[in-house]
Amino acid sequence: YNAIYNGIFYLYKYAHSYLLIPFAILSLLYLRRLANRTGMRIVIAITALWLLYIIYVGGDFTKAGGIAANRIARWDGSRWYALGDGLNNTPRAIAIDGADIYVAGDFSTAGAASANRIAVWDGTAWAPVGTGEGTADDFSGQGYIHALALMGGELYIGGDFITIDGVSANNIARWDGNG
């Protein structure tokens, strides 16, 4: 999907540091429009590092700007980077906490780690969030995560599930970083 790369590259090509906020917003709008036009499902998160805005994009793709990137990639304003070996299925949500990138979706592995629907990238490797058991519901047995949010050092998880890591949680859960 080089269209993703070309669109963002064009937006950033002539940008100066003080213009990165509007260019990041335009990039998001471009990606959303591209997703609507192609039927591709994508999720996006942005973080700031000094005056540089980093964009994390997840979706139904295996390349970003010619770089192998299985369903998740990082754009730093000049090039794409893969997050390890990526995910074995589509992400639905991304949340950023410093260097940690939390991702939830329809996947069962993230890189080499077994991570049932939720994982964290620490900048060098993937790991499951919690025990790695993931979500379950009373309909399909799997459960789905649709939203992630960080607040006060804790990760909030929302979706269609009745348990997460074996703990009862009706569609919303909070993870404090332990267990």
Burial class (CB in 10 A: 0-12, 13-18, 19+), 60: middle
CA dist 125 and 142 (Å) reads 25
Q: Is the predicted pLDDT of residue 147 greater than 50, yes or no?
A: yes
For residues 148 and 155, is the Cβ–Cβ distance under 8 A? yes
Please write the tens of the pLDDT for every residue from 124-140. 999 999 888 888 877 76
Helix (H, G, I), strand (E, B) or coil at 37: helix
Would you state the pLDDT for residue 49? 52
By percentage, how much of the chain surpasses pLDDT 70?
Answer: 70
- Given this model, what pLDDT does residue 41 score? 62
- Tokens 């993870």 locate to 175
Q: Give me the residues paired with residue 113 across strands.
A: 110
Tokens of 2: 């080089």
Examine the pLDDT at 107 and tell me if it is beyond 60: yes
CB-based contact 73:81 (threshold 8 Å) = yes
Token representation of residue 10? 């064009």
Q: 176 vs 26, which has greater pLDDT?
A: 176
Residues 22-70: pLDDT tens digits?
Answer: 445 555 555 555 555 555 566 666 665 555 678 888 888 888 888 899 9
